[in-house]
Structure formats: C-alpha cells, structure tokens
C-alpha cells in the first residue's frame, strides 16, 4: 500500500495515453469526487477553473485534484485562430463551455459542469469528441449549439443513465445543464448506484424452446409411423 501512496501524481491525459480508456465506474467516481471538491472550494464564488485532462491529477490512490486552481483566460477569435494544433488537446479551450468560447461576461459554475462532462466523455471513450477540430471550428459548433455525439457510439457498455448525465452536463445551453456542482455530484452518484445494481443483477438464462419443440414434433411423427406399420402387420 505504501508503494501506491508514494507514487507521483499522474495526469488523466498520461493515464489515457499509457493505459487507455478508464473503467466506467472509476471514471464516474473520479469526476464525481472532483465536482465535490470544486463545489467545496468554490464557496459561492463564480470562478472558472482550468478543467482538462492535463490539469486533473490522480494520486497513488486514484484521488483526483486540479493542478492549477486559477481561473482560465477568456478566449477571443484571434486566440482561437492561432490554435493550429489538431488532436489532443486543442489548447485548454477545447474543454471550455460554449458561453466561455463566445466570450460572454456572465459565466458561472455551469461552465465547470460542461468541462467536467467533456473530460468524463474522453475518459470513457478514450478520445476527445472533437479531436480533429481546430479552435475556430469548436467555436463554430458552439455558435450553432451542436451537441456532443453519444458516448455509447464509442463505448457501447456505458449505461443509458451515464450517457444521459454526460449529455446533460455537456448541453450547449447553460440552462439545460445541472445548475450547480452539487447537482452534478448527485447525478453521478445515482449513475454509480445504477451501475452497481446492474452488475449485481444476474442475467436470466435464455430458454431455447425452438429445437425442443422441433424434436418433439419429429418424435410424434415417428411414433405415428410405427403405429401405422404395426396396424398393417397385424391386420
């Protein structure tokens, strides 16, 4: 146990690179814990955090924390146009909520909710949902209010409830997202509970009646044939 605790912190990004996508339960638990910590640290202030896989660190026991707790810089079109990188990540702005990308003045905790949802999506799917888009293309999607693709297209074993929570967190319109980080924690805990119940629920054996019915039919035909032959021989 001491060796695990003494391990240096590793970012979610490095974990994805070295071990691939996260187990569903672990990913949901990490984002729930991070949302809980942010809710406690916020203390009612409207502070935007730099939430992305490079800035989320996991200690030796898998507990998450943010490496940089400072507010992010509000982007502008020139800044996004300068982001020529493709893939993971397209700068920190790749994880910003649409209202933050559009430079709106009033941005609250729902922007953090969005960023956490995008990171959860990536942890489960193993890739950023818009890995091939530039900063300007991300801004265009924000302006058009486009939603993220369903995570189950890349990870079919994700439950319907977890996928629904991600879609709520990543809604383009802030009013459609959970309005507080505490609400996100409640939703994720419910999703965790649903997953545990599904794992404990034994699968019902499938009764294959077709072949049995067919053999019974064959047996009846054979018996009738034997009966007819015996009757003819005895007459």
Q: Tell me the sheet residues that pair with 58.
A: 10, 64
The stretch 163-180 carries a mean pLDDT of 94
pLDDT for the residue numbered 181: 92
* Domains present along the chain, CATH in parentheses: 2-200 (1.10.510.10)
Residue 85 near residue 94 (C-beta atoms within 8 A): no
pLDDT for the residue numbered 145: 79
Residue 170 near residue 124 (C-beta atoms within 8 A): no
Q: Which tens digits make up the pLDDT trace of 216-227?
A: 655 565 555 555
Question: Which has the higher per-residue pLDDT, 195 or 31?
Answer: 31
What does pLDDT average to over the chain? 76
Q: Which tens digits make up the pLDDT trace of 18-38?
A: 999 999 999 999 999 999 988
The b/e string for 22-40 (b: 16+ C-beta within 10 A; e otherwise) is bebeebbbbbbbbbbbbbe
pLDDT of residue 15 exceeding 90, the answer is yes
Task: Give, in order, the Cα–Cα distances in Å from 143 to each of 13, 17, 113, 181.
Answer: 27, 31, 19, 24
The stretch 171-190 carries a mean pLDDT of 93
Q: Which tens digits make up the pLDDT trace of 123-170?
A: 999 988 877 676 677 778 777 878 889 999 999 999 999 999 999 999
Question: Which has the higher per-residue pLDDT, 214 or 115?
Answer: 115
Determine the Cα–Cα distance for residues 68 and 179; give it in Å rounded to an integer: 23
Query: Which positions ≥6 away from 189 have C-beta within 8 Å?
Result: 32
């Amino acid at each position: 146990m001491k060796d695990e605790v003494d391990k240096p912190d590793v970012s979610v990004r490095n974990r994805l690179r070295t071990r691939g996508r996260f187990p569903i339960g672990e990913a949901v638990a990490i984002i729930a814990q991070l949302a809980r910590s942010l809710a406690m640290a916020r203390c009612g202030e409207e502070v935007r955090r730099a939430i992305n896989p490079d800035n989320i660190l996991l200690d030796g026991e898998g507990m998450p924390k943010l490496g940089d707790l400072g507010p992010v810089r509000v982007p502008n079109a020139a800044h996004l146009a300068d982001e020529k990188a493709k893939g993971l990540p397209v700068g920190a702005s790749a994880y910003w909520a649409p209202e933050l990308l559009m430079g709106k003045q009033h941005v609250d905790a729902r922007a953090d909710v969005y960023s956490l949802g995008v990171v959860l999506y990536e942890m489960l799917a193993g890739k950023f949902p818009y890995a091939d888009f530039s900063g300007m293309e991300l801004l265009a999607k924000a302006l058009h209010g486009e939603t993220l693709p369903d995570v189950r297209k890349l990870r079919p074993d994700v439950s319907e409830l977890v996928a629904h929570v991600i879609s709520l967190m990543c809604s383009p319109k802030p009013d459609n997202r959970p309005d507080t980080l505490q609400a996100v924690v409640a939703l994720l805990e419910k999703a965790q509970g649903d997953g545990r119940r599904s794992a404990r629920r034994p699968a019902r054996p499938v009764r294959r009646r077709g072949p049995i019915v067919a053999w019974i039919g064959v047996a009846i035909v054979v018996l009738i044939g034997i009966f007819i032959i015996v009757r003819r021989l005895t007459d």
